[in-house]
Structure 1
Amino acid sequence: MSNKKNLMILVAGPYRSGTHDDPQLIAANVQAMTDAALEIYNLGHLPVLGEWFALPLIEAAGSKVIGDTVFNKIFHPIAVNLIQHCDAVIRIGGPSLGADEMVTAGLMEGKIIYYAIEEIFAHT
C-alpha cells in the first residue's frame, strides 16, 4: 500500500426517497449504496453507511414502522453524527433530501465531498 491516507467515506444516497416505503425499493437503494461501498473499499478506503449503524438501533429501540417516532429519532441523526468521524462523503443516486442533508452536514464539517467513485480514485 502507498503512503496515501486511506479515507473513511460516508456513502449518502436515497433510502426511502421515491419508494413510497416499498421494502423492495428500499432494499434496492441500500444495495446501490452497498455496491458503492464495495467499490470504495476496493480502492483502499473504509466506506460506511449510516444505515449500518442506525437500522440495528432502530430495531432494538422498538420501531414498528419506517418513519415512526423511534425511526426518526435515530435514522438521520446517527448519520449526521457519523460524518464527524469521516474524512469524506460521497453522494450517489437520485433525489433524496436525507442524502442532500448528509452532503450539507459534510460541507459544514469541512469534509471532502465526492459525487462519483471516479473522483475518489483521482483524489487518492
Structure 2
Amino acid sequence: MQTTPRPLMILVAGPYRSGTDDDPARLAANVDVMNQAALALFRAGHLPVTGEALALPLIGLAGSTAVGDPAFDEIFHPISERLLSRCDAVLRIGGPSAGADLMTSQARDQGKQVFQSLDTVPDAR
C-alpha cells in the first residue's frame, strides 16, 4: 500500500525586484506569479508561504516610501530568512533572482528539500 506524502510548509522563492526597475506593476506581476505557484501548492495539499505576503504589509507600516529604502531593507530579506527556518522546503520559481537563489542555498544548507518546479512536488492530498 502506497502512503500519501505528508503536507509540507513550502516557501515559494522567485524574483521580486529582478528585471523590474522597481516598477510597481512589474513588482505586482512577480508577486502574482509567486501567488499562483502558492495556490497550486495549496491545491496539492501543502501549506505554501511567500516572504512577500508577510514582508510587504510590515514594510509599509515601518514607513517605507520606496522599494530598497532603509525600512524596506530592514524587513524584506530578513523576514524570508526567518520564515525559511520554519519551512520544510523551498519551491524555486522564475528567472534570475539573487534573493530567491539565497533562499534556495540557505534551504539546502539547512537540509531542506528544494523543488525546481511544481511538477516535482509530491501531491499530499
TM-score if structure 1 supplies the norm length? 0.94
Distance in structure 2 (CA, Å) of the matches to 1:22 and 1:63: 16
| 1:39-58 map, 5 Å | 39-58=40-59
Contact 2:55 2:76 in 1 (8 A): yes
Letter in 1 for 2:7: N
Alignment of 1:9 onto 2:1: no
Task: Return the offset for 1:122.
Answer: 6.7
Letter in 1 for 2:99: G
Query: Which stretches in structure 1 are left out of the alignment for 5+ residues?
Result: none
Query: Which stretches in structure 2 are left out of the alignment for 5+ residues?
Result: none
Task: Return the offset for 1:109.
Answer: 1.2
| 1:21-100 map, 5 Å | 21-100=22-101
Distance in structure 2 (CA, Å) of the matches to 1:38 and 1:123: 14
Letter in 1 for 2:12: V
TM-score if structure 2 supplies the norm length? 0.93
